[in-house]
Amino acid sequence: MTPQGLFIATVTVCLLNGLASPMVGVLWYLHPVWLPEMLHPTREVVFYGASLMVSTGTLLLSAVPAALVERFGGLSQRGANAAWLGAAILLVLAGLR
């Protein structure tokens, strides 16, 4: 698989985690803290915001092992992207547990 394909797969896994993670419920409960006052807290807005934050957090957290592998492991970009996808899948599996 090409590096671009691995990146698209990683983003897809992170987006699916934003829909199915139990952290969405936690962020839903905390919406008065992170939701701007100019937006009305409807169910759709709160769910979209919580899902987007979980997806972005998964993408950022799974990038840390990939960066370490690329820096210290001496792997190519393809190997780092594969490590990024693997870390994202591990985060999703840990969240579904």
Using only C-alpha atoms, the chain has a radius of gyration, in whole angstroms, of: 15
Question: From CA 18, how far away is CA 41, in angstroms rounded?
Answer: 19
* Closest to 24 (Cα-Cα) out of 57, 50, 55, 61: 50
Does 97 score more than 80 pLDDT? no
pLDDT, tens digit, 9 for 90 and up, residues 35-58: 888 888 889 999 999 999 999 999
pLDDT at 29: 92
Domain layout of the chain by residue ranges = 42-97
pTM of this structure: 0.86
Does 75 score more than 80 pLDDT? no
pLDDT at 76: 77
Q: Are 24 and 51 in contact (CB under 8 A)?
A: yes
pLDDT, tens digit, 9 for 90 and up, residues 52-63: 999 999 999 999
